[in-house]
Amino acid sequence: MAVEHAYDYAIVRVVPRVDRGEQINVGVILSCADSSFLESRIELDEARLRALDPSLDLEAVRAHLAIIPAVCAGGPAAGPIGALPPRGRFRWLVSPRSTVIQMSPVHTGRTPDPAAALERLLETMVRMA
């Protein structure tokens, strides 16, 4: 039987108009400290965002979302945050913000395969069935 590891995850949300509070789930960040796993997957449904706010600057949203996988990967491309260990980068990514890009509260789970758990969360929390 495969060993299960605890993991933490947060849903990445775009809130086109913070004053209205409407949001669309666009990705997942998953951290598994036992295996030094930190990855994110982003899938932006531009048509759904445009339905909430036709004037939304999608180029700016895409640029801000692109930072998330870079920080997960770490290293110089992620700037000073990239030098932190994976758990530090995760905590930085999921810290509360009052901006167009927001994170859900952090949730936990157990899995033998963090990459498969990330895909399952993306399928259930982000993609429209």
pLDDT in tens, 68-106: 999 999 999 999 999 999 999 999 999 988 789 999 999
Does residue 92 lie within any of the structural domains?
A: yes
**How many residues does the structure list for the chain?**
129
The tokens of 112 are what? 């033998």
* Among the listed residues 30, 4, 31, 57, the one whose alpha carbon sits nearest the alpha carbon of residue 125: 30
**pTM flag (> 0.85):** yes
Does residue 107 lie within any of the structural domains?
A: no
Instruction: Give me the DSSP letters along 73-88.
Output: H-SGGGGGGGGS-HHH
Does residue 111 lie within any of the structural domains?
A: no
Does residue 114 lie within any of the structural domains?
A: no
C-alpha 100 chain-centroid distance: 13
45 secondary structure, DSSP code: -
Does residue 28 lie within any of the structural domains?
A: yes
Does residue 67 lie within any of the structural domains?
A: yes
Does residue 112 lie within any of the structural domains?
A: no
Does residue 110 lie within any of the structural domains?
A: no
72 is in which domain, residue-wise? 5-102+119-125
> What is the tally of structural domains in the chain?
1
